Amino acid sequence: MAQLTLQSCNPQNGTIQWHTVSDDVVAIKLVYEAFSPKERNLHVNYSFSQFVVMSPADAQILPELVQLRKWASGDEKPPHLLILGYGIWMFNSYFLHDYTVTEALDAQREIHQMVIPLLEQISRKSRVLVLPVSRTKGVPSPKVSLTKGSFTDVLLDWNDMIFLHELKIFRRNQGILESQKLTSLKPRIDIGKKLDSRNDRLSPSADNSGLWFWDSSLLFQLAERNDCEEIYRHMNISGAIYPTPELACFDAIHSGRIVLRDLITILFNLLCNSVLGLSSEYCC
In a domain, 204, yes or no: yes
Comparing 77 with 7, the larger pLDDT belongs to 77
In a domain, 102, yes or no: yes
Q: Is the pLDDT of residue 22 over 90?
A: no
Short-list 120, 107, 117, 98, CA closest to 158: 107
Domain count, the chain: 1
How confident is the model at residue 205, as a pLDDT?
A: 72
pLDDT band at 275 (very low <50, low <70, confident <90, very high): confident
- % of the chain at pLDDT higher than 90: 27
How many Å is the Cα radius of gyration of the chain? 20
Rounded to whole angstroms, the Cα distance separating 255 from 221 reads 6
How confident is the model at residue 71, as a pLDDT?
A: 94
How confident is the model at residue 158, as a pLDDT?
A: 92
In a domain, 159, yes or no: yes
In a domain, 210, yes or no: yes
- Collapsing DSSP to helix, strand or coil, 189 comes out as coil
In a domain, 175, yes or no: yes
The one-letter code for the residue type at 35 is F
Q: Is the pLDDT of residue 8 over 60?
A: no
What is the residue range of 191's domain?
A: 50-216
How confident is the model at residue 169, as a pLDDT?
A: 94
Short-list 214, 239, 52, CA closest to 146: 52
Q: Is the pLDDT of residue 168 over 90?
A: yes
In a domain, 40, yes or no: no
Ramachandran area for residue 234 (φ above 0: left; ψ -120 to 50: alpha; else beta): alpha
| Span 220-254, pLDDT tens digits | 999 999 988 888 877 767 667 777 888 888 888 88
Contact predicate 84/47, CB 8 Å: no
Q: Is the pLDDT of residue 184 over 60?
A: no
**Element spanning 230, H or E:** helix 216-233
Lowest mean pLDDT among 9-13, 128-132, 166-170, 176-180: 9-13
How confident is the model at residue 35, as a pLDDT?
A: 67
How confident is the model at residue 26, as a pLDDT?
A: 37
In a domain, 26, yes or no: no
pLDDT band at 190 (very low <50, low <70, confident <90, very high): very low
In a domain, 11, yes or no: no
Q: Which residues of 199-221 are buried (b: 16+ CB within 10 A; e: fewer)?
A: bbbbebeeebbbbbbbeebbebb
Which backbone phi and psi does 236 adopt, to 5 degrees?
-115, 35
Rounded to whole angstroms, the Cα distance separating 79 from 176 reads 24
pLDDT band at 42 (very low <50, low <70, confident <90, very high): low
